[in-house]
Structure 1
Amino acid sequence: MRVRSVAYDCDVLVVGGGIVGLSTAYAITRAAPGTRVTVLEKETGPARHQTGRNSGVIHSGIYYRPGSLKARYAVRGAAEMVKFCAEYDIDHAVTGKLIVATERAELPRLHALVQRGRENGIPVRELGAAQIAEYEPEVRGLAAIHVGTTGICDFVGVARRLAEASGAEIRYGAEVVRVDRRPELGVAVRTAGGDVVRGRVLVNCAGLYCDEVARLTGDDPGMRIVPFRGEYYSLSRPELVRGLVYPVPDPAFPFLGVHLTRGIDGGVHLGPNAVPALAREGYGWGTVRPRELASTVGWPGAWAIARRHWRYGAGELRRSVSKRAFTDAVRRLLPAVSEADLVPAAAGVRAQAVLRDGTLVDDFLIREGARAVHVLNAPSPAATASLPIGREVARRALGALART
């Protein structure tokens, strides 16, 4: 592809029409009116993957290490997301949530969460076993904490509104297959349909494919996306759960465990279970993409994870293939539930960045190259934190633009 300096279609070219990409476009046009932004999204509409296939929870930020990007952006983003939803009349509610310890071994971790919440500036109420029923009459546990700033919303609705309000050109059905970056001239992207789009700066918010887009650009991301499928059931007796109920998470993993979530539609979702996906969009065991699977198993970090955490993974796999085992995990929190109450629901896939040594990247990861900004790790709570994340990515993109 030949790139001419006079042929720019836009100033900033964003790859990915999920909530982070659209929030970035929104932030750029707010911070620098007149900046021409084009968003390329391979699907026929926004938010078809991680944004549209999660629990819809506005996370408080209680889980995240004080001072980390996750902690800072989630706490700030939760308040901003509620305000954004109210301003644009998007379905949402501030419900609060319970984090419940069901075994004595979990009590120290629960107390540590109280301290972490306070360090992150989050209001937390400690509850004894009898007080749990004030919030959730059917839930049982030894102790719990109530986090008042947690909520729920329609993140797909948020993404659509960001797309409209940004004023950016959004091109759907535009899958990126080639990138030609020339630092002295700009970036040209070819789509699967044969179109060429030229911009001064590229922003990579490709989610499940962010590492591949980085490599297409010519940058070494230093990580690989290893996809984990989150499997859900819906509860046929939603009256058993009033709001949001979570187990005490294991700090060694970036997953929160099987939890109970009353969504904005009134239904209750149970999950997710976290198992390796056989494709980056592998929403079921029957979806296998050999090239993508080879990319995962060929990454040394994937094998390091398997060696290090095989016991944890075996439990997740067992719950994936056994409804009874999944029900047992739910019954730890909600004893009244039975197998018959669980109805299979749509799954999601988490784009988990993994380093070569098997380290699961725990924080948001944003890296820059010549005329490029790459968002390389933005799993949960990225939807909650999307507005401040978008501003940070926009700041870096505008800085790169100023240097052209």
Structure 2
Amino acid sequence: MKKVANDCDVLVIGGGIVGLATAYALTRAAPGTRVTVLEKERGPARHQTGRNSGVIHSGIYYRPGSLKARYAVRGAAEMIKFCAEYGIPHEVTGKLIVATERAELPRLHALVQRGRENGIPVRELGPAQITEYEPEVRGLAAIHVGTTGICDYGAVARHLAEASGAEIRYGAAGHVTRVDRRADLGVAVRTADGAIVRGKVLVNCAGLHCDTVARLTGDDPGMRIVPFRGEYFELARPELVRGLVYPVPDPAFPFLGVHLTRGIDGGVHVGPNAVPALAREGYAWSVVHPRELAGTLGWPGSWRIARRHWRYGAGELRRSASKTAFTEAVRRLLPGIGPDDLVPAPAGVRAQAVLRDGTLVDDFLIREGARTVHVLNAPSPAATASLPIGREVARRALGALGVSGDMPARRG
């Protein structure tokens, strides 16, 4: 133990968008609260936040009443206002969800009902109307969701960091190696540079490593992060797609499937394919961390997922290995493309919480321990919902501090 850092009130581990939104909410709700954020990378938003397609999700897919549904609907409106206030590039584009087979039509109609239950405006379209929105897309029917948008979440995270007024430590100074907790004294964290940072309450927003951090505090998270890599291509002819085009999701499978997303930079992302990652930050097949892989394989839930979804997984692995197979999946929505139209793009990794019985945690998962708040499942649409999630986590952290804070939603 080389040196002792100044104390803070709330110590946030993780400088992604959820951790930074929590810091922002804390200082807004209880001015004067001393907040320190620890982030092991050299800057914010280097993992899930900065490696997605930038979609501001409407909330149409999520079970009515769930945290995902409530926070996505609320968060989308707040994110658009936040971007407008800080001059962050964004656009409300709307999106199409397209049925390409007759078997998908009942699921498409069910999404219409779900959207209405979640308070989302939805317009039903026939084949001719699809081409009015997207001339190159083909389908039997579709729905148009008007509240979907796009933005730069990396820029959002940087503005949250600045606006929060929190002290943020990056690199070795933010890399947590040990946590000591005493119910009466608070939490002390040792970082990779040998410093000790002391806080009254610890908030765990460590994303891909949140279960590891929970165990460092002595809390049993009851789940493990099983990482899935999302593999993307960029469309060489972006003029073929005007906006956002999604397939009808199959509720029997855990991921949405390959979709088309025109980003804020004008490029069109195609993907993601979803395959097991061989490391928590395994952005390519060549990235293998034996200890992390052993942890995944040693978790009973991992094998139960494999048995339950092996057919789906085999298809994803085939598309990972074969560009031709990936192209076939894209052609369901966009028939006019070939393999040469797909240019490899950076991948992302989804931090998916999995229970011991193999259940993939579907909703956001926030748990509390003594002087700790753990965010244990916050994949998509967490970026969209980051402002209301941050307020909820901040509310719990302030409760652990014995402070009542005003948690106003953003009103522009």
| TM range, smaller chain | over 0.9
Deviations 1:331-350 (A, max 9, x none): 00000111000000000000
Question: 2:343, 2:23 → 1: CA distance?
Answer: 38
Deviations 1:108-152 (A, max 9, x none): 000000000000000000001111011000000000000000000
Where 1:345 maps in the other structure, the secondary structure is strand
Query: 2:266 — aligned with what?
Result: 266
List gaps (5 residues or longer) in structure 2: 404-412
Identity of aligned residues (%): 87
* Residue 357 of structure 1 pairs with residue 357 of structure 2: yes
1:3 and 1:185 in contact (8 A); partners too: no
* Residue 10 of structure 1 pairs with residue 11 of structure 2: no
Q: What letter matches 2:241 in structure 1?
A: V
Q: TM-score, normalised by structure 1?
A: 0.98
Query: 2:127 — aligned with what?
Result: 129
C-alpha displacement at 1:3, in angstroms?
12
* Residue 65 of structure 1 pairs with residue 67 of structure 2: no
Question: 2:169, 2:357 → 1: CA distance?
Answer: 37
Query: 2:26 — aligned with what?
Result: 28
1:8 and 1:200 in contact (8 A); partners too: no
* Residue 397 of structure 1 pairs with residue 389 of structure 2: no
Q: What letter matches 1:123 in structure 2?
A: P
Q: Paired residue for 1:120, among 114, 118, 121?
A: 118
Question: 1:118, 1:341 → 2: CA distance?
Answer: 36
Which deviates the most, 245-254 or 23-32? 245-254
Question: 1:14, 1:327 → 2: CA distance?
Answer: 42
2:2 and 2:195 in contact (8 A); partners too: no
Q: Paired residue for 1:43, among 33, 41, 44?
A: 41
List gaps (5 residues or longer) in structure 1: none
Q: What letter matches 2:146 in structure 1?
A: G
Aligned counterparts, 1:155-304, within 5 A: 155-173=153-171, 174-304=174-304
Deviations 1:164-198 (A, max 9, x none): 00000000011101000011111000011111100
Query: 1:318 — aligned with what?
Result: 318
Question: 1:3, 1:236 → 2: CA distance?
Answer: 53
Question: 1:210, 1:106 → 2: CA distance?
Answer: 36
C-alpha displacement at 1:374, in angstroms?
0.0
Q: Paired residue for 1:80, among 78, 81, 84?
A: 78
Question: 2:210, 2:6 → 1: CA distance?
Answer: 23
Question: 2:83, 2:252 → 1: CA distance?
Answer: 33
C-alpha displacement at 1:281, in angstroms?
0.2
Q: What letter matches 1:35 in structure 2?
A: T
Q: What letter matches 1:202 in structure 2?
A: L
Where 2:309 maps in the other structure, the secondary structure is helix
Question: 2:195, 2:228 → 1: CA distance?
Answer: 32
Where 1:145 maps in the other structure, the secondary structure is strand
C-alpha displacement at 1:9, in angstroms?
1.2
With over 3 angstroms needed to count, the CA separation of the structure-2 counterparts of 1:3 and 1:116, relative to structure 1, is farther
* Residue 367 of structure 1 pairs with residue 367 of structure 2: yes
Question: 2:3, 2:223 → 1: CA distance?
Answer: 29
Question: 2:167, 2:121 → 1: CA distance?
Answer: 40
Query: 1:149 — aligned with what?
Result: 147
Q: What letter matches 1:335 in structure 2?
A: P
Deviations 1:203-223 (A, max 9, x none): 000000000000000000000
Question: 2:178, 2:204 → 1: CA distance?
Answer: 13
Moved over 2 A (4+): 1-4
C-alpha displacement at 1:252, in angstroms?
2.5
Aligned counterparts, 1:98-113, within 5 A: 98-113=96-111
Q: TM-score, normalised by structure 2?
A: 0.96
Question: 1:2, 1:32 → 2: CA distance?
Answer: 32
Question: 1:40, 1:373 → 2: CA distance?
Answer: 15
1:21 and 1:205 in contact (8 A); partners too: yes
1:324 and 1:339 in contact (8 A); partners too: yes
C-alpha displacement at 1:58, in angstroms?
0.1
Question: 2:250, 2:42 → 1: CA distance?
Answer: 37
1:90 and 1:157 in contact (8 A); partners too: yes
2:3 and 2:195 in contact (8 A); partners too: no
Deviations 1:305-361 (A, max 9, x none): 001110000000000000000000000000011100000000000000000000000
Query: 2:408 — aligned with what?
Result: none
Report how many aligned residue pairs link the two structures. Answer: 402
Q: What letter matches 1:36 in structure 2?
A: R
Q: What letter matches 2:157 in structure 1?
A: A
Question: 2:252, 2:156 → 1: CA distance?
Answer: 31
C-alpha displacement at 1:8, in angstroms?
5.8
Question: 1:387, 1:231 → 2: CA distance?
Answer: 27
* Residue 336 of structure 1 pairs with residue 343 of structure 2: no
Question: 1:177, 1:60 → 2: CA distance?
Answer: 38
2:3 and 2:194 in contact (8 A); partners too: no
Question: 1:255, 1:32 → 2: CA distance?
Answer: 38
Where 2:346 maps in the other structure, the secondary structure is coil
C-alpha displacement at 1:255, in angstroms?
1.4
C-alpha displacement at 1:31, in angstroms?
0.1
C-alpha displacement at 1:2, in angstroms?
12
Query: 2:410 — aligned with what?
Result: none
1:38 and 1:169 in contact (8 A); partners too: yes
